[in-house]
Structures are given as C-alpha cells and as structure tokens.
Amino acid sequence: MPVKSGTQYRERIDAQSVPCWYKGNLITGKRSEHVAFAGLMETQMYMYDLQSDPKFAETMTYASPADGKPVGISFLPPTSADDLRKRREGMNIWANVHHGFLGRSPDYMNTAIMSFYTGADLLNEVSPQYAENLKNYYAYCRDHDITLSHAFIQPYASKISGQLDATEDAIAAKVVDRTEEGLIISGAFMMATQAATSDEIFVYPSPSPAPFDDENPFAFSFAVPNDLPGISLVCRDTYAAESHTNYPLSSRYEEMDNIVIFDRVLVPHERIFFAGSEEMSSRLFSGSNFHIHAGHQVLCRYIAKTEFVLGTIQLLTDTLDLNTEAHVIEKSARVFAGLESLKALALAAEAGAIPDGRGFVLPAPKPLMAANLLFPKLYPEMIEILQLLGSSGVIMIPQEEEFQSDIAPSLNVYLKGNDMASQERNALFRLIWELGSGSFGGRQTQFERFFFGNVLTVSNRLFSVYNKDQTNRQLVRDFLFNTSK
C-alpha cells in the first residue's frame, strides 16, 4: 500500500469509535467536523496529500521494501549520511506547512517507530517473538501510513501510589491479567497529544515505579488501535476557533492533548514488544536511540519555527519603525544568532553521523542534544521579544468582523501601521497575540519548554554523553602538571 491521501486520513479518524470526552460529554459526530479538531485535521489532510503530489512525491517518499510502493520518507531507517539528508529534506516540506507548530506532525511518530525498529534486535535475547512483533508493527505502520500518537508519561498520582502501595493497589499502568489472546492492561497516561486525531497509540511507560526483578507488571510496551474496548480519551478545553484571520494559528494547528485511560484493555500478543523486565525496558529505550533519531526530526522543526517567529518579529519591527533602536537590534541579533546556531548544529549532526553498531546510521548525538537544550530557551525568549516590542498592541486588537462593520472607516484611519494598511496590521497583531498572549501560544511555550523533559532531564542527557570524555580535563592536566612546556 502506498502513502495515504488526506481524505483517507480523515475517513479513518472519523470511523473510530473510541469514547472521547469533551467538557463532560462524549463527542458524537465526526471528529473532522468538531471545532476542536477540524482545523488541525484539514492541515494534516493537506500534508498527507503532499506525499502524492508529483511536485514533492520523490522527496517525500521512498519505495517500500515490502512491495515497492511509495512510503513516507520519515519511515526510512538511515544507513548513510545521505539518508539523513533525504529524511531532512522530506520532513522539511511538512515543516514548511506547519511552521513548527505541530509537535506531533506525523513524521515525529514515524521517526519514533523507526527508531525502535532499529533497536528491535536487542529484544532477541529476551524473545525473538518480541523482536518480530516490533519489526512487523513498524512495517505495518510504514506500509499503511499509520498516524500514531504516543503514551509515555503517567499521572503524578501514579508515583504516590506506586511508592506506597502494594502492586495490587498501585495505580501506575500495569499488566493486571493475561489470557490466551493477550495481556490485560489498566492505567492512564497524560498528555497524549493528538491521540484523538491518530489511528493508533504506542505505549511505553516511563521507568516503573518499583523494582520487581522478575515478571515486573509495570514494565512493557505495545501499540494498539485507538478504539480497542476499554480505551477512553479525555480532552482539555480547545483553544481552536474557526476564523483564520482572528485565530491564524489555532484555527490551523491546534493539537488537542488527551488523557488516555486503559481500563482492562486486552492487548493481543502480537502487539506486545516486551513485558515483564524493567531492565529490558531501559535497554530497548536507550538502545533504540529514540532521542537521537527523533532529535533530528525535532531540529528540523525547531529551525522552521524559529524562521517563522523571526519573520514575525521582523514584520513587527518594520511596522513599528523600530529597526534603528539599539534594544531592537540587540534582541533581533540574539534571534539571528540562535537561528544560525540551530542550522549549524543540524549541519554538524549530519556531518558527524556515526554507525549505531547494528547497521544503521545515527546523526551525531552531541549537536542534537545541544539543540535540545538551546531551543527551549530560545523559543520563550523570542516570544518575550514579541511581547516586549508589541507592548499593549499585543492586547488591544479588534476582530476581523469590525472591519466589515460601520466602525470600519474609523479603524482604517486609526489602526494603520508604518507602510501597512489597518487590516493587514490587525492580522499581524492577531498572530502576535496568539503567539505571545493567547492560550494557543501559552501552550506552545509550555510544550517547547518540556518537549524532551525539563531542563535538568535534557541537561543530564547531554552531561552523560559529555562528562565521561576526559579530553578537556587532560588538556588542563597537561597544562598544570606537565612542566615540560
């Protein structure tokens, strides 16, 4: 099967029967027509269609090893630096549609499942069947262009109970039973972004709350269709609205976040990637280099987003005629330098690609981890620049409907900008408001700050690859203690 079309994407989601709670009610109609999902799904339909667009097909697809049909380039397991370049060029086409605002742009999870595929052989020592399951599932996703979401993080409460209670009472996700058909799972996961607009969900609980040497019921990973019996989704309130002019970003890019609840869900054996061993869980996770492969996709997204926000800052300083102000030059230069650093790190990640020891190629980890540390600071800094330069203009913005009303002539006089008509200026400030002050932007800032964990987690990842290296210490030791020089 080849890459799917936008229409196929929509039809699959609309056909799902998973209970999805929104403001106390189950969503009953088509999800593609619900205000919380419609704009995003339209954007993703457009993105999926691009894969078959003759203009982009060659860059965005490659031939499936299964049947030679074109499949998404972000599924490609890289075996050379050139593969990394291909992956990047393909992913960038999507990034230029969503300008980095889709943290769960489908290539993210395509890359994720690909990364676990590269580590599948690690499972052989526990069970060849597990390895087989994971490989099969990857191929299934690739060849059916499955839209995936993921569930890694458990509610805070799981830590309280897990530390205090016996297994039976623990509320952390666990295997509660096993049958001939599969394992019975109960538990809940926070922040499954886009769960309601995906086909399936990939589950990989963070380290289990308690160490059980053998048959640890908290250690497992699997993937299932969203609408298996026992799965429920709970939504937060939506930040989306319909008008592209009033809400230019949320009307297109609002990704709903969900709590996913598993209530005695039967997961078929062939969808289990491992179970029972905490040690296997950590080994597969780190051995698959998830953060590195995904980090490459993420860095492409960071660059696209930085370019978009930078362009917004530039339009703002133009229309406020601020380009000769010292503080504006300094603030802008910080963003320019940030963008140059991200681009350079992407270059370095590919130029420094290394073999992973299992036949695949890894982008250089250090530059990617550096980018993972820099962007969560750069993004809020850019948003703060918009806030500081936009001042009260970020707040006092009429809606587009005023410009079709009897007060429009006055607004056209009073709201024009430097070389910008009032409606265009208003549209720009609506965008800045969404980025810098509205709920959509508020979530984006939180999302980027915690994308790969908090600053300590991300720092620790970089620290652990860096600090064992003695090179720089030796430099100083030689300087201090080697008096020959």
Site for a second copy in 137-166 (CB under 8 A): 153, 155-158, 160
Considering the complex, state which of residue 166 and residue 214 has its C-beta at the smaller distance from a second copy.
166
Of the candidates 161, 158, 156, 238, the one whose C-alpha atom is nearest the C-alpha of residue 196 is: 238
| Residues 438-477 within binding reach of a second copy (CB under 8 A) | 438-439, 441-443, 445-447, 449-450, 454-456, 458-460, 462-463, 466-467, 471-477
Question: In the chain, how long is the greatest CA-to-CA distance?
Answer: 86
Among 7, 124, 282, 391, binds a second copy (CB under 8 A): 391
What's the min distance (Å) between Cβ of 359 and a second copy?
A: 26
Could you give the residue ranges of the DSSP H alpha helices within 155-204?
156-164
User: By rule CB under 8 A, what string of x and - marks binding of each residue 19-38 to a second copy?
Assistant: x-x-xxx-------------
Q: Is 213 in the site for a second copy (CB under 8 A)?
A: no
Q: Report 352-371 residues binding a second copy (CB under 8 A).
A: 366-367, 369-370
- Residue 208 binds a second copy (CB under 8 A): no
For residues 224-243, which are near a second copy according to CB under 8 A? 232, 234-237
Rounded distance, CA 108 to CA 232, Å?
A: 23
In the complex, least distance from residue 102 CB atom to a second copy, rounded to whole angstroms: 14
Question: Under the criterion CB under 8 A, does residue 185 sit at the interface with a second copy?
Answer: no
Q: Which residues contact 164 (CB under 8 A, 6 or more apart)?
A: none
Q: Which of 259, 284, 303, 382 binds a second copy (CB under 8 A)?
A: 259
**Dihedral angle computed from the Cα positions of residues 446, 451, 455 and 460, in that order, rounded to the nearest 10 degrees:** 170
Q: Taking the complex as a whole, how short is the minimal distance between the CB of residue 10 and a second copy, in angstroms?
A: 17
The separation between the first and the last C-alpha atoms of the chain, rounded to the nearest angstrom, is: 67
482 binds a second copy (CB under 8 A): no
**Nearest distance in Å: CB 123, a second copy:** 29
Contact by Cβ (8 Å): 192, 260: yes
Euclidean distance between CA atoms 281 and 285, whole angstroms: 6
Nearer to a second copy, 58 or 340 (CB): 340
Is 484 a binder of a second copy (CB under 8 A)? no
Tell me: does residue 63 bind a second copy (CB under 8 A): no
Measured distance CA(1)–CA(145) in Å, rounded: 8
Which residues, 6 or more positions from 156, have their beta carbon under 8 angstroms from its beta carbon?
A: none
Contacts (Cβ under 8 Å, ≥6 apart) of 180: none
Interface pattern 87-106 for a second copy (x via CB under 8 A): ----------x-x-------
Q: Is residue 85 within the footprint of a second copy (CB under 8 A)?
A: no
Please report whether residue 50 would count as binding a second copy according to CB under 8 A: no
In sequence order, the 6+-apart residues with CB closer than 8 A to the CB of 240 are 35, 36, 37, 38, 39, 40, 247, 250, 251, 254, 440
Q: Taking the complex as a whole, how short is the minimal distance between the CB of residue 440 and a second copy, in angstroms?
A: 9
Give, in order, the Cα–Cα distances in Å from 212 to each of 166, 216, 218, 284, 286.
12, 5, 9, 18, 20
Instruction: Please give the Cα distance from 374 to 60 (Å, whole number).
Output: 28
Secondary structure of residue 451 in the 3-state scheme: strand
Nearest to a second copy of 101, 117 (CB atom): 101
Q: How far apart are CA 119 and CA 274, in angstroms?
A: 13
Q: Which is nearer to a second copy, 284 or 345 (CB)?
A: 345
Site for a second copy in 325-354 (CB under 8 A): 326-327, 329-330, 332-334, 336-337, 340-341, 343-345, 347-348, 351
The least CB distance from residue 198 to a second copy, in Å, is 16
Binding span for a second copy by CB under 8 A among 31-39, 82-90, 107-115, 259-267: 259-267
Task: Give the footprint of a second copy on residues 292-311 (CB under 8 A).
Answer: 307-308, 310-311
* 56 exposure class (CB count in 10 Å sphere: 0-12, 13-18, 19+): middle
Residue 431 near a second copy by CB under 8 A = yes
Among 292, 397, 448, 452, binds a second copy (CB under 8 A): 397
Asked if residue 309 lies in contact with residue 386, where contact means CB atoms within 8 angstroms, the answer is yes
Tokens of 130: 């597990």
Least Å distance, CB 336 to a second copy, is: 5
Q: Pick between residue 2 and residue 100 the one whose CB is nearest to a second copy.
A: 100
